[in-house]
Amino acid sequence: MGILSDLLWHLQLILPAMAANGAPVVVLRYVKNSHPVDFNLKFLDGRRLLGDGKTWEGVTSGLVAGLVVSAIIAIFSQNAGFITLGILSSIGALIGDMAGSFVKRRINMPRGAPAPLLDQLDFYVGALLLLYIAGVQIRLVPSIILAVVVLVLHVGTNYMAYRLGLKNVPW
């Protein structure tokens, strides 16, 4: 595969993950009663397993958004296989994001505290890892290039959300 078709392949794999990771942030603004994924349980260290930033409503909205994006990719590429790949990618993203929160709680960071790189890439690594485990062709160079794109997009969208008054801080 050439680098461009390689990049396109990885982009098609990762777009559902980006939707699954982004949807909860928007949807939870409109949900009054949310339910934490960790059922309020605490870990051995006495702190929350994941914390209030990971909710079942968020997980559900992430799966729905990931599925919608997968369907769009499947239609445009005329390849139904992208539905399965997109679902895997979305589940991996949500697990990766929760793994990130698990790590943050263990090092005593409160919910919402900034953890540079971890906050932006946990979902991405989770998605690629689950796809890889499932036997999907994942290459290092396009993965790294898209990791940089994900980082830049994160900084850009957060700054925009700040300028639009949706966030209090530009990061």
From candidates 10, 13, 49, 53, binder to ligand CTP by CB under 6 A? 53
Nearer to ligand CTP, 7 or 63 (CB): 63
17: nearest Cα among 116, 135, 102, 132: 132
Task: Kindly write out the interface string for residues 4-43 of this chain, putting x where it contacts ligand CTP by CB under 6 A and - elsewhere.
Answer: --------------------xx--x-----x---------
Residue that the structure tokens 């949310």 belong to: 34
**Which residue, chain included where needed, has tokens 């990618």?**
89
Report the distance separating Cα 73 and Cα 122, nearest Å.
23
The set of residues, in sequence order, having a beta carbon less than 8 Å from that of 77 and lying 6+ positions away, is 12
Query: With respect to ligand CTP, which residue has the nearer C-beta, 60 or 129?
Result: 60
Does residue number 59 form part of the binding site for ligand CTP (CB under 6 A)?
yes
Six token digits for residue 19:
């939707």
- 97 lies in the site for ligand CTP, by CB under 6 A: yes
For residue 162, the minimal CB distance to ligand CTP (Å) is 14
Q: How far apart are CA 171 and CA 117, in angstroms?
A: 12
Number of Cβ atoms within 10 Å of the Cβ of 71: 15
Which position's Cβ is nearest ligand CTP? Answer: 58
* Least CB distance to ligand CTP at residue 36 (A): 8
By the rule CB under 6 A, 51 interacts with ligand CTP: yes
In whole angstroms, the minimum distance from the beta carbon of 103 to ligand CTP comes to: 9
Quick one: DSSP state of residue 122? H
CA–CA distance, 148 with 142 (Å, rounded to integer): 10
Our finding on whether 101 is near ligand CTP (CB under 6 A) is yes
Q: Which residues bind to ligand CTP, rule: CB under 6 A?
A: 24-25, 28, 34, 51, 53-55, 57-59, 94, 97, 101, 104, 111-113
